[in-house]
Amino acid sequence: MRYLVKIQLFLMIWGGLSVAFAADHIPTRLPEVPRIVAIGDLHGDLAATRRALKLAGAINDNDNWIGGDLVVVQAGDQLDRGDDEQAILDLLSCLSEEAAAAGGALFSLNGNHEVLNVAIDFRYVTEGGFRDFQDAVVVDDADTSLVKYEKSPRARIVSFRPGGKYAQVLAKRNLVMVIGENVFVHGGLLPHHVDYGLDKMNRESREWMLGHAPQPDFLRGKDSLIWTRLYSSEVDAEDCTNLREVLSRLSAKRMIVGHTVQPGGVSSYCDGLVWCVDTGMSAHYGGAPEVLEIVGDKVKVLREKQ
């Protein structure tokens, strides 16, 4: 099923409130919904992706949406470290269409590994990951911008460089979203990110991925919203203070992040103000799929039955 074109609009009905948006411009903020499930980093593992989506109650064995008005948020890092990336990107795009038609939604966020690939930084790409995109695009041998690269990564470069086929797919996705009182972001939001503006970060990232602007500086550095680990590794009192400030300014109750593998499964810090959903479920890390269910003020970790 083809992903939605720019001009197409979806009417999504959540809790009696209708929200219309263009398929290439997902709002930063959306109202409260009956049920949300957050899924962590996928890293090129299609089998783990399917297991997590089934655990969420989102798909059946045929990869069809069965979640009804369920809202799924995947916290970024679909790419790198595994060989099934194209299939994952295509599956998530198709499911976002099916979910919207059913009155639900599937939102995939961009993480640091999506940004790395658009920046043509392939340090975490597997050999299979290079082969995976050989059939995705036509590589023009006359393209002088490719001559400095060996042949093996050229199809991936054409796919992910700003304006490329899959860069355009990623440009449809946000870096950060607020749904009701829940903030979703790959690494974490710090006070200076709120100062800069969530809408502005989403918009400027989108423009870069489409090839209309240079890469924004806020996508670089250890305190970037896609790189920071302040809320997911060795979290201390000062980190929790920053988190409380951010949540207060956004009128939110909790933040959900990925990025840092939690060896014991989905973890929470700062008295439940942040939930870390990267369980290392991909084959690269060998963790088990777990997802986070949010229903109103009730937060629950869902695990596969043993």
The single residue of 113, 186, 193, 259 carrying the catalytic annotation is 113
Which of 135, 206, 202 has the alpha carbon at shortest distance from 168? 206
Going from the C-alpha of 232 to that of each of 27, 49, 76, 274, the distances in angstroms are 26, 22, 15, 8
- Burial profile 162-173: b = 16 or more Cβ within 10 angstroms, e = fewer: bebebbbbbbbb
- In which residue are the tokens 């939605």 written? 4
- How many C-beta atoms lie closer than 10 Å to residue 143's C-beta? 11
Which of 169, 38, 50, 163 has the alpha carbon at shortest distance from 106? 38
- CA angle, residues 242, 112, 45, in degrees to nearest 5: 120
Pairing of strands 274-276, 254-257: parallel
Q: Is 25 one of the annotated active-site residues of the chain? A: no
Going from the C-alpha of 5 to that of each of 2, 12, 93, 135, 165, the distances in angstroms are 9, 17, 12, 22, 13
Q: How many CA atoms lie within 13 A of 288 on its CB side?
A: 11
Torsion of CA 44, 275, 63, 16, to 10 degrees: -140
Residues labelled as active-site residues: 113
